[in-house]
Structure 1
């Protein structure tokens, strides 16, 4: 068995272990982990943590992993030290980077976000228990120590710092991205309800969350509001979300900003892709040419396009935005290929 096959088999077992823990919840070890993670970060509700972990188990299905890895040629090499600065906006968001570095045959130094420390440490403990030798390649650090390459995720502001600080080593730097949904007005109630999951999962804090709607001119939002109404039952029970809703309602009223609202989300006509928590931007289009131009102009700010329309050929169906496969790379940058290319030269250069 090759090193890569051994690592892939390890992650298959990790997926099975996580699935078992999710099925046993609230019993078993995961019950305490989820409580601790929620206390550490109130945005990490039980439902959102389970959702994130179940998405990982789907990603780690044997057929999915084999299909992913079949696209690459990974030769055994002297492991390099790869530094990964992880985000913490949604639960276990750094898992894909962790898996990719290990599958590439390298060591990983993880700089965790304080917002997502507990779940990531729990997952790495499972990896270590399934493969002791692989576990030795994982370390947590407060500061990256002489990395040979870096993968860092942050805001647009921190990205400028990352580019400067890691300028002397190969790097992948990710900035803010959000997702867009394109509607044509003929969507069914079921499709719009599924779109609600793309919008409200993780309170809209992920890069794969829809933060903006592209709608035809004179679009009637009543059908949309009716379809997404059930999501309000949970959202309105969350104090931090409700505080955001009340805050932006007050801002829009005081500043005379036109907006549409039900009792848990505001719709504001705005060109920006990114929107605050509890706010959904929208923009109208007159024809497909105008729509395509708008999407092209903002391509570097868009993670996913959710739609039943065929616009770019890469659209994701309604309700599937939060179900990425192993080959769905953040910002569209193939980090596994990046790491394979960095390891083609056995000479190791440090900062």
Structure 2
């Protein structure tokens, strides 16, 4: 199976995902393979919250929608066109250790390995282990080529040539100890930030709300901290974020909000809150659920330089100023195929192993 055929298969998968979006679940294709898998995916989406309380139906649909947008023939061709896949003549077994913080969080690694022509041995997180095997079965029905390319395991990883592992800073030390002798990509904690200038429109701030609240803020591309100019009027932000106030009706989120608020009060921290999200002035990047850290800045240029120096802690930067590599508000959870996690080029790594 050549690269063009692999691109075609994943483009068809993207079309299939288009039946499951935040606009609704609508069957659009009556082909035999679609009929076979449509109901299975629909049932798994409906039941996802039973297995992981954070995987609400809407958040799962947002994940499928994001991948539907990304997996087009045009995007897949543009993404792969800059690489020389002939450099990778030998098929390798690549182990992927996946996180499970948001739905389908490990899919890009899965896609990258298979689009490169390698085999993958997948060790899923217990928090997100039901969708990828379904996707693998769908690909196998599309083309028998995939039948011996994908293995799932819950046991100790063996018989692999390279590793891609995603986890916390603590698990990264474990990964480095056990997999350090293999070619590897080992990812640690990262968080995303936003820069406000005070000139944003209400619509732009509402879009920022998507970056903050989507997936309950659990993703590495979720905005967990904002930088604001001195004397910023937080009422502007709170007024725009009000459209997301129903998030507090979700019990797991409400419990985190109440717990963290109690901790802040007992610790005598100064917080700004509106009943469903808290703002806390804090130099750190990783904020708890229902909290967004903030920090004042004096110079936009100086802030850019600082964030560049601290880039290893940051996944992406949301800002509506025209700066290369900044992401527009509302787009942090919709990365392009070439927007690599931790800025590590996964395809380049896979070609060279």
Query: Would you call these one fold, judging by a TM-score over 0.5?
Result: yes
| Offset at residue 147 of structure 1 (A) | 1.4
| Offset at residue 17 of structure 1 (A) | 1.4
- Alignment counterpart, residue 136 of structure 2, candidates 124, 133, 148: 124
Equivalence for 1:295: 307
Equivalence for 2:329: 318
Equivalence for 1:276: 288
Contact 1:21–1:28 (Cα < 8 Å) also in 2: no
Query: How many residues get paired?
Result: 339
Equivalence for 2:2: 3
| Offset at residue 146 of structure 1 (A) | 2.6
| Offset at residue 129 of structure 1 (A) | 1.5
Task: Confirm or deny that 1:13 pairs with 2:12.
Answer: yes
Contact 2:20–2:65 (Cα < 8 Å) also in 1: no
Contact 1:211–1:273 (Cα < 8 Å) also in 2: yes
Quick check: 73-82 or 203-212, which moved more? 73-82
| Structure 2 residue matching 1:179: 3-state secondary structure | strand
| Structure 1 residue matching 2:336: 3-state secondary structure | coil
Counterpart-to-counterpart distance in 2, 1:77 and 1:127: 23
| Structure 2 residue matching 1:114: 3-state secondary structure | coil
| Offset at residue 25 of structure 1 (A) | 5.0
Quick check: 101-110 or 14-23, which moved more? 14-23
Counterpart-to-counterpart distance in 1, 2:222 and 2:111: 22
Contact 1:100–1:336 (Cα < 8 Å) also in 2: yes
Contact 2:213–2:222 (Cα < 8 Å) also in 1: yes
1:176-325 to structure 2, matched below 5 A, reads 176-233=189-246, 235-311=247-323, 313-325=324-336
- Alignment counterpart, residue 74 of structure 1, candidates 85, 94, 118: 85
Counterpart-to-counterpart distance in 2, 1:158 and 1:310: 36
- Alignment counterpart, residue 90 of structure 1, candidates 91, 94, 102: 102
| Structure 2 residue matching 1:229: 3-state secondary structure | helix
| Structure 2 residue matching 1:236: 3-state secondary structure | helix
**Aligned alpha-carbon RMSD (Å):** 1.4
Counterpart-to-counterpart distance in 1, 2:2 and 2:143: 12
Contact 1:77–1:105 (Cα < 8 Å) also in 2: no
Q: Write out per-residue CA displacement over residues 303-340 of structure 1, whole angstroms, 9 at most, x where no aligned residue.
A: 110001245x2101111111111101100000010000
| Offset at residue 28 of structure 1 (A) | 3.2
Contact 1:192–1:224 (Cα < 8 Å) also in 2: yes
| Structure 1 residue matching 2:59: 3-state secondary structure | helix
Gaps in structure 1 of 5+ consecutive residues: 343-351
Q: Write out per-residue CA displacement over residues 80-134 of structure 1, whole angstroms, 9 at most, x where no aligned residue.
A: 1000000100001111100100011100000000000012222222112212212
Task: Confirm or deny that 1:175 pairs with 2:188.
Answer: yes
